Amino acid sequence: GYNKYYEGMKNRIVEMVAFPTNSILGIQTLRHWLANHGVNDPYGGCANIFVSSINPYHTLPSGTPEAGKKLILSYSNPTHSVTIVGYNDSIRYDFNSDGIYTNTIDITGDGVVDIRDWEIGGVILCNSHGEEWGDNGFAYLPYRVLARTTEEGGVWNACAYGVQVRDEVFPQITYKVTIKH
């Protein structure tokens, strides 16, 4: 409604920020943005990723942090954006079914240990599909998926995007109109 629109007019975009999520530095920068905009702000930020809109859920295994919570393990063709609202460096999922959770073993078989091999840690997503999506509108996404390209089942451009806003900008003039045709 108009009231939400009017309140939104008081915010202005100052800067768009891209967080490449296929490197440790990129993941660390994203986490700092989520925690405090990377500059010790008292408030954290959020970020968006572009993904497919329908994906099967999995659950975090019993005996691990957040056991039983919904988890997304891969994406397909991007058609929808979701918001990253936080992170949890303790969640874990055994992608290679070896019975251990690690970020130090080459489970992709490419000869390199990088984020695409991580089985520990991830971000918290919030979706616009409402409370019936995930766990009351939230789900986890492993860092590993953020580091993968769309072709590998990851996110568009292996990147998350944030917006820095300036609030308390007061519009000089506004109109509320009804148009009939």
Q: What is the pLDDT of residues 54-81, one digit of tens each?
A: 678 899 999 999 999 999 998 887 788 9
| Model pLDDT, residue 53 | 67
Average pLDDT over residues 112-136: 93
What is the pLDDT at residue 123? 97
Rounded Cα–Cα distance for residues 158 and 74 (Å): 12
Per-residue pLDDT tens over the stretch 21-66: 999 999 999 999 999 988 888 888 899 999 886 678 899 999 999 9
pTM value?
0.86
- Residue 6 to residue 63: CA distance in whole angstroms: 47
Neighbouring CB atoms inside 10 A of 134's CB total: 21
Is 66 strand, coil or helix?
Answer: coil
pLDDT reading at 169 higher than 80 = no
> Residue 88 pairs with which residues in a beta bridge?
122
Q: What is the DSSP letter of 171?
A: P
pLDDT band for 173, please (50, 70, 90 cuts).
confident
Output the CA–CA distances (angstroms, integers) from residue 57 to 69, 162, 163, in the order listed.
10, 25, 28
Mean pLDDT of 83-100: 96
User: Which sign does the torsion angle of CA 58, 78, 31, 103 carry?
Assistant: positive
The residue with tokens 């984020």 is 115
